[in-house]
Amino acid sequence: MLTSANRAFKALRQFLTTTQLLPLAWHFSPQRQKHTIFRFRLTFGLWTRELDMLPHGKLSQIFTGLTSPGNRPRISQRADVRGVSNNDTLKLSWKTDIGLIGEATLPRSKANAASELVPTENSWSAFKEYVAGVESGRFLFRGQNEPWRLRTSFHRSGRADLLRFMREDIPSLHRNLSARTKHVFNLKDPDEYGAFLNLIQHHGYPTPLLDWTYSPYVAAFFAYRGISNADADNAPSTSKVRVLVLDQRQWRSDVLQIPLLEPVTLHFSIFEFLGIENERMIPQQAASTVTNIDDIEAYIASHPREKTYLSAIDLPLRERRRVIQELSFMGITASSLFPGLDEACEDLKQRNFEL
Concatenating the DSSP letter of every residue in 96-121 gives ETTS-EEEEEEEPP-TTSPP---PEE
Q: Mapping DSSP to helix (H, G, I), strand (E, B) and coil, where does residue 186 land?
A: coil
pLDDT of residue 6: 45
Q: Is the pLDDT of residue 204 over 50?
A: yes
What pLDDT is attached to residue 31? 44
Helices 124-132, 320-329: crossing angle, 10 deg rounding = 40
Average pLDDT of the residues in 172-180:
95
What are the CB-based long-range contacts (under 8 Å, 24+) for 13-20? 14/66, 15/62, 15/63, 15/66, 19/62, 20/48, 20/49, 20/50
For residues 196 and 20, the model is more confident at 196
Which amino acid, 44? F
Residue partners of 107: CB distance under 8 A and separation at least 6 = 88, 89, 298
pLDDT in tens, 12-67: 344 444 433 333 433 334 444 445 788 888 776 655 555 565 566 666 666 655 55
Least confident of 80-89, 167-176, 201-210: 80-89
Q: Which contacts qualify for 8-13: CB closer than 8 Å, 24 or more apart? A: 8/67, 11/63, 11/66, 11/67, 11/73
**Peptide bond connecting 23 to the previous residue in cis, omega within 30 degrees of 0:** no
What is the average pLDDT score of the chain? Answer: 84
